Structure 1
Amino acid sequence: MSDIHALIGGMYDDVVRRNPGETEFHQAVREVVESLVPVLERHPEHLDPNAFERICEPERQIIFRVPWQDDEGRWRLNRGFRVEFNSALGPFKGGLRFHPSVYLGIVKFLGFEQVFKNALTGMPLGGGKGGSDFDPKGRSPDEVMRFCQSFMTELYRHIGEYTDVPAGDIGVGGREIGYLFGQYKRITNRHESGVLTGKGLGWGGAVVRTEATGYGAAYFTEEMLLSRGRSMGGQTAVVSGSGNVAIYAIQKLTQMGATVVACSDSDGYVVDERGIDLELVREIKESGRGRISEYADRVSHAHHVSGGSVWDVACTVAIPSATENELDGRAATTLVRNGCIAVAEGANMPSTRDAVKVFTEAGTAFGPGKAANAGGVATSALEMQQNAARDSWTFDRTERRLHEIMRDIHASCFEAAQEYGEPGNLVLGANAVGFLRVADAMNAQGLV
C-alpha cells in the first residue's frame, strides 16, 4: 500500500514539475490519480511500464498564431491550441473552445478529462481538446468568419476523420463549426464530413447533437436517483448557466417530471418557483443573446439576484453546467444543508476538490463530468458513424441510443465503485473504468 501511495504521489509531483503554472491540469490529474490506488493494487501490470505517467503526457501539443482582420481594418492576433492527448482507443476527439480564459493549462485539463470521458462511452475515440483566447462575444459575423478561417488555415494540417476530430465547446457553436468546415473543405478540396462534429443538419450533422450534453446529464442524474430507489418525478432542480448544456438539461429534467427553479449567467441568477420557462430562456439567450436578468423583467413572479451564488437556491437536484470550479466547498455545504440529494456535472470539472469532498462525506450522489456530461461526445461519435455510412438517423433513434449509452456509463461506474470497495463513489468508478480501458489498449500496443 505505502509503495503505491508513494508512486502515486511521485507521479503527481512529476506532472506539476513538468507542467508549471497549469493549475487546472494539475487539479484534473490529482483528482484521477488519488482514486487509482485500489485499481493499481489489483492491476500491477500497469505500474511497469507506468501507464498513468504516459497518459498524463500528451502525444502532441500544438500552439500557433492566428492573425485576422477586424471590421475596421485593424490587424488582430490571437493564439490557437490543439492538444492531441491520447489515441490508444481511436482518433483524437474533443471540442474547440473560443474564450479569453483559454491557455495551454485549460486546454490540457480539458483534453485529459476527454481521454477518460471518451473511454467511458465505450466508443472507439481517443481524447484531445483545442481552442483559442479569441472572444467571439461582441464580434460581428464577418469578424468571427475571418477568425475561424485563419484558425483553420493552420489547424487543417493536424486533423482528419481518422486522425483528430474537433467539435464545438464554449464560444464555438453551429455558426463557428460551419465557418471552420467551409475553410477545411476549401483548403483540402475534400468534403470530409467526419472531420468535424456538431455540423448543421443539412450538411452532415446529427439530430440530438445540440441537445446531447444536457440530455445526457439529465439521464445520468436519473440513473443515480434510480440506483438509490428514487425517481426524477417531483424533484426540485437548479441548473447553473443558461447556455446550450443548461438549456437542454432544463428541458429534459422538466420532461422527466422535475421542476427547475433557477438558472444563471455571469451576471447573476434568476429564480422562478413555478418552474423556469425554457422557451423564454431560449428566446433571451439564443435568439437575442441577452442577459438572464431579462427573464425577471418579463415574468412577474420571478426574481433576479445580481451576483451571488445560484447554489443558495434550495433544491434536491443540482446540475452545474457553466464552467470549471464554479461550485466550491461553501456552495456544496449549502446545497447539502438545503436537502440536495444528487449532483451531476454538466460542465467540465465545475466542482472544486473541496466541493466533491463535501458531497462524498454527506452521501450525496455525485456524477463527475467525465461520466455525467459524456452525452455530447457520445452523440458526436454517432454523428461520425452516420457520416461514415452516408446515413441519417431519426431523432427518436438517436435519442434512444444516447439514453442507452448514458445508462451504460452509469452502470459501469457504479459496478466499478462496488468492485473497488467504495459503493456509490462514482468518481472512483469513472476513473477506474476510463483508466483501465485506455491503459489496457496502450500496453497492448507496446511502448506508446
Structure 2
Amino acid sequence: MFDAVLARNAGETEFHQAVYEVMSSLEPIAGRDDQYAQWSILKRICEPERQIIFRVPWVTDDGEVQINRGFRVEFNSALGPYKGGLRFHPSVNLSIIKFLGFEQTFKNALTGMPIGGGKGGSDFDPKGRSDAEIMRFCQSFMTELYRHIGEYTDVPAGDIGVGGRELGYLFGQYKRITNRWEAGVLTGKGLSWGGSQVRTEATGYGTVFFAQNMLQERGEDFQGKRVVVSGSGNVATYAVEKVHQLGGRVVAVSDSGGYVVDEDGIDVELLKDVKERRRERLSVYAEERGGAVSHTTRGSIWEVACDVALPCATQNELPEEGAKALVDNGVQLVAEGANMPCTPEAVKIFQDAKVLFAPGKASNAGGVATSALEMQQNASRSSWGFDETEAKLEEIMRSIHATCVETAEEYGAPGDYVQGANLAGYLRVADAMVAQGVI
C-alpha cells in the first residue's frame, strides 16, 4: 500500500514521511477489524478529498508585479468541516501542504471536536515586506480562496508566517467579497472581532500541558526541570511562558539566525518584544538581555543539555545527530510543538533510549482545539474569559493524553505515544468513513 502512495505522489517526500509514520502504526488492527479492510479505508484516507492550487498576483510598493502560488488541500471531512492553518513561507509546496493536511486529519480527530483536516498556504515570504505589501498579497490570496471556504465547509487559521496581522487582512477581504460577517470562517481572529481568549497561547500552552501529563505518568512534573525550546515564534514563546509558570526553566530558544542560551531562564517579555512586536533577530535579545547570555550561529540548539526538549520550529528540524546529542546529555522527555519536527531517525533514537516521546499530532493539538472552541463561541455569539478557556484547553490536552495512553495499552504497546496517537486518530476517522459509505 505504501508503494502505491509513493508512485501516486512522486517526489512528495514530506507527505511520504507522514503517511509512512501512520501506516507503520496500523499493524495491530490488521485482521482484528475487518471492516476497515473491507471498505478500503487506507486507500481513501491517503488521498485528499480536494486539492486546490492557484495563482496569487500582487504588486510591491515599487509597482513591480509578483506572482506566488497558493494552496488549499481539503484532506478529510469525515468528522466535520476541513480545519487547518495557512502557512506563508518560501518552502511551501504541495508536498508540505499535503503532509500537514494529513497530519491535521488525525490531530483534529484526537481532540474529540467535530472538525476534519485540511491545510493551505503559499510560497510567499512575508519577511521584510511592508504592511501594505502584505495586505495586498493577503487580499489577492483571499480573492481566490474565499470561494472554497466557509464555516460549514472549510475553516482556515494561522500557521508559520500567518499571524494576527495577516488573518485580519484575510478576514477583511472575505467580508468585502461576500458581504457577510461570517465570523466562523477563520479562527485566530483578534479579540475585538470574533477571536477567542487563549488562541494565541494555545499551541505552546497545549504542548506543555501534554508534556506535564507525560511527566505525571512517572510521578514527576516541570518543577526544577531544565528545558530547551527550539524556535522563537508564537508556539515557542508561549511554551516558554507556560513552562516557567509550571516551575521549569527554559534556558535556550532559537531562530533561523542561531540560538541563545540564557542560564537564568529566558525572559519571556523581552522575547515577545524582540520577536513579536519588533520582529528582530535573537541576537538583539542577547544584546539587550546582557549578562551571561550567549548567542551563537554555530552548532545546534540540541547540543544544549536539558531534561525536556520541545521542538517548536518547523518540520524535520531535529535530525539524528540532534537526537543523539540530547540523549547523551540526559534528556528525559521530548514533545513536539511543531508539525513533524523530528526526523524518523531521531524518533527511533528517542524510543530506543526509552526517552518519553510525544508526536505533534497529539502534543501540539492545543492550537486547533482552541480554534474549535473559537468556532463554538462564534456560532453561539458568545465569548468566554481567559481562565475558562484555558481550563477547557487543559482538559482537552488531558483527554488526548489519556486517549493515547489507553489506546497504546489496548493494542499492546504500553507507553508508546506514537502508536497510541496514530491508532486512536486513525480509528476515529475510519469509523466515521465506514458509517458514511464509499464517498
| TM-score, length-scaled by structure 1 | 0.97
State the Cα deviation string for residues 7-48 of structure 1 (Å, max 9, x = none).
xxxx11111100011100000000100011002332221012
State the Cα deviation string for residues 143-186 of structure 1 (Å, max 9, x = none).
00000000000000000000000000000000000000000011
Task: Report the 3-state secondary structure (helix = DSSP H, G, I; strand = E; otherwise coil) of the residue aligned with 1:234.
Answer: coil
Choose the corresponding residue for 1:127, options 117, 137, 144: 117
1:60: which partner in 2? 50
Give 1:51-200 correspondences, 5 Å limit. 51-200=41-190
State the Cα deviation string for residues 43-93 of structure 1 (Å, max 9, x = none).
221012211111100000000000111101111100000000000000000
1:231: which partner in 2? 221
Give 1:28-47 correspondences, 5 Å limit. 28-47=18-37
Structure 1: any 5+ residue segments left out of the alignment? 1-10
Structure 2: any 5+ residue segments left out of the alignment? none
CA drift of 1:231 comes to: 1.1
State the alpha-carbon separation in 1 of the partners of residues 407 and 31 from structure 2.
Answer: 14
Task: Report the 3-state secondary structure (helix = DSSP H, G, I; strand = E; otherwise coil) of the residue aligned with 2:56.
Answer: strand
Structure 1 ranges of 4+ moved more than 4 A: none
Q: What RMSD, in angstroms, separates the aligned Cα atoms of the two structures?
A: 0.7
Q: Is 2:305 the partner of 1:314? A: yes
1:4: which partner in 2? none
CA contact 1:220–1:407 (8 Å) conserved in 2:
yes
CA drift of 1:307 comes to: 3.3
State the alpha-carbon separation in 2 of the partners of residues 94 and 287 from structure 1.
Answer: 25
Q: Structure 1 stretch 327-336 or stretch 121-130: which is displaced more?
A: 327-336
Task: Report the 3-state secondary structure (helix = DSSP H, G, I; strand = E; otherwise coil) of the residue aligned with 1:47.
Answer: helix
Q: Work out the number of aligned pairs and report it.
A: 438
1:356: which partner in 2? 347
Q: Letter of the aligned partner of 2:392 in structure 1?
A: R
1:8: which partner in 2? none
CA drift of 1:228 comes to: 1.4
2:328: which partner in 1? 337
CA drift of 1:284 comes to: 0.9
Q: Is 2:286 the partner of 1:296? A: yes
State the alpha-carbon separation in 1 of the partners of residues 229 and 8 from structure 2.
Answer: 36
Give 1:244-255 correspondences, 5 Å limit. 244-255=234-245
State the alpha-carbon separation in 2 of the partners of residues 389 and 327 from structure 1.
Answer: 41
CA drift of 1:295 comes to: 2.1
Choose the corresponding residue for 1:280, options 270, 273, 292: 270
State the alpha-carbon separation in 2 of the partners of residues 101 and 443 from structure 1.
Answer: 36
Choose the corresponding residue for 2:370, options 379, 382, 386: 379
Task: Report the 3-state secondary structure (helix = DSSP H, G, I; strand = E; otherwise coil) of the residue aligned with 2:30.
Answer: helix
State the alpha-carbon separation in 2 of the partners of residues 286 and 94 from structure 1.
Answer: 22
| TM-score, length-scaled by structure 2 | 0.99
State the alpha-carbon separation in 1 of the partners of residues 175 and 266 from structure 2.
Answer: 41
CA contact 1:240–1:246 (8 Å) conserved in 2:
yes
Q: Letter of the aligned partner of 1:376 in structure 2?
A: G
State the alpha-carbon separation in 2 of the partners of residues 85 and 295 from structure 1.
Answer: 40
State the alpha-carbon separation in 2 of the partners of residues 297 and 44 from structure 1.
Answer: 61
Counting aligned pairs with the same residue, the percent is: 68
Q: Is 2:319 the partner of 1:328? A: yes
State the alpha-carbon separation in 1 of the partners of residues 343 and 86 from structure 2.
Answer: 23
1:7: which partner in 2? none
Q: Letter of the aligned partner of 1:374 in structure 2?
A: A
